[in-house]
Structure 1
Amino acid sequence: MDSHQLDIVSLAWCRELGLPDDALRRPGTRTVGPATDTIRFVRLGGASALIGPEWLLARAADVTDETLASRSTLVELTRDHGGRCTGPRLLAYASEVHADIDVDNPLISHVLPHVQALQSLCPPDDVAEADLTSRRNWFTLLDEDENPLAGAGYAEWQGIVARVAVLTAPGTRRCGHGSVVGRLCTNDAIDEGMIPQWSSDPGNTPSRRLAARLGFEELGSVTEITLAAP
């Protein structure tokens, strides 16, 4: 990913976090955002931003970015305030269209019922992780009997980023089906003028490997804590 594309991704995150448009374009710097009850720490391309209440900003002032990106560090800094932590989630981005889908004339559906049929075959945690029904621009690979094998979709975010996810039926994994729909979905997002974003748990090796095969480059992470009500 070139510097211009990274600037576009940075702009999307700045808008999301309520920061000046260039706040994440200075590698090696940390920006402190407006105080809020929802804590978010974002690292992107060597820059970072910390959003949270004043007491948290003070506690984290001398903590390095690498340490702060750890789930355990943010949990410890906020232990006396409670709350629920999600992340860290690795952020990866793709910038080029690729033609290698390894299947001739795949049968692809773009309708919600096939997405729902695919979800019915998958474990609830996998369904929640991909959250395909909240996305659009679906690509569901079907077999000759129109049974779903794998699906992908993306949701437009901040007008310039496409949040991509892939879901594969348990009985058909390791067959390359996820790569087929992931490639078609990623290419479509790029053709629409957006930069695809992939989010993975650091311990989800299959997800990270699939993203790498699709051309996604890991460039940052996000960790969030929703504080308990006072």
Structure 2
Amino acid sequence: MRDALLAQSGQATIDLDRLRATSRISDVLGPATLAYLDAGDFAAVHGAADVEKLPAAHRDLRSFLASAGDADRDESGLEEITSAAFVVRDGQDVIAAAGYRSWPDSVAHLSVLTAAGHRGRGLARLAASAAIAEALEDGMLPQWRARPEPSRRVARALGFRELGTQVSIRLTT
């Protein structure tokens, strides 16, 4: 793997197809943008909708995740949060949620998802803002990892700065 990556060093991007052809790769996640938030740059959002704090294992969050498509659910990472979930509801239904997974060195890896029919209304920013506020209160460094541009826009609107990219590679055994 090291040799295959070094062969592409100096290039602006890694050719994942070429890498797959020369390596024993079973899965690739990314590339994704990594963004971080300094407390002084946080653009907190408060909206007309209420944000409710639920345990990560709450049945309403689990129902929301079950209703999302596999791709959205997997991209969000909400099934892996270690924090509480911060949710926005439409009636009794959760339509947006955010939380974070505690990573080493006090990093709070954010996870956010809005139901497909409710996107574009600022609900991701609202739910994420509550999760970020808690992470900052706990002395953590919020991290946002995103591939889709809409997710990257939400992060930038909240004050995150894109500082790098990440590719995760799983090798066959």
- Is TM (by shorter chain) over 0.5? yes
Unaligned residue ranges in structure 2 (runs of 5+):
none
Choose the corresponding residue for 1:223, options 149, 167, 170: 167
Choose the corresponding residue for 1:195, options 116, 137, 141: 141
Work out which of the two has the higher radius of gyration on C-alpha atoms and give 1 or 2: 1
The question of 1:87 aligning with 2:34 is answered no
2:66 maps to 120
Q: Deviations over 1:147-202 (max 9, x none)?
A: 2121001010014101101111122111111110011111111111111111111x
C-alpha change, 1:210 and 1:105, in structure 2 (3 Å) is closer
TM-score normalised by L of structure 2: 0.84
Is contact 2:29-2:169 (8 Å) kept? yes
After TM superposition, give the deviation of residue 213 of structure 1 in Å: 0.8
* Partners of 2:60 and 2:89 in 1: CA distance: 9
Is contact 2:51-2:127 (8 Å) kept? no
* Partners of 1:66 and 1:187 in 2: CA distance: 38
The question of 1:154 aligning with 2:100 is answered yes
Unaligned residue ranges in structure 1 (runs of 5+):
1-55
CA RMSD for the aligned pairs? 2.3
* Partners of 2:137 and 2:17 in 1: CA distance: 39
* Partners of 1:58 and 1:100 in 2: CA distance: 44
The question of 1:178 aligning with 2:121 is answered no
Higher relative contact order structure (alpha carbons within 8 Å, sequence separation ≥ 6): 2
* Partners of 2:15 and 2:45 in 1: CA distance: 36
Poorly superposed stretches of 4+, deviation over 3 Å = 58-63, 65-70, 97-100
Taking the TM superposition and a 5 Å limit, the aligned residue runs for 1:37-76 are: 56-61=1-6, 63-67=8-12, 69-76=14-21
* Partners of 1:113 and 1:218 in 2: CA distance: 34
TM-score normalised by L of structure 1: 0.65
The question of 1:138 aligning with 2:90 is answered no
- 1:167 aligned partner, one-letter code: L
* Partners of 1:105 and 1:62 in 2: CA distance: 51
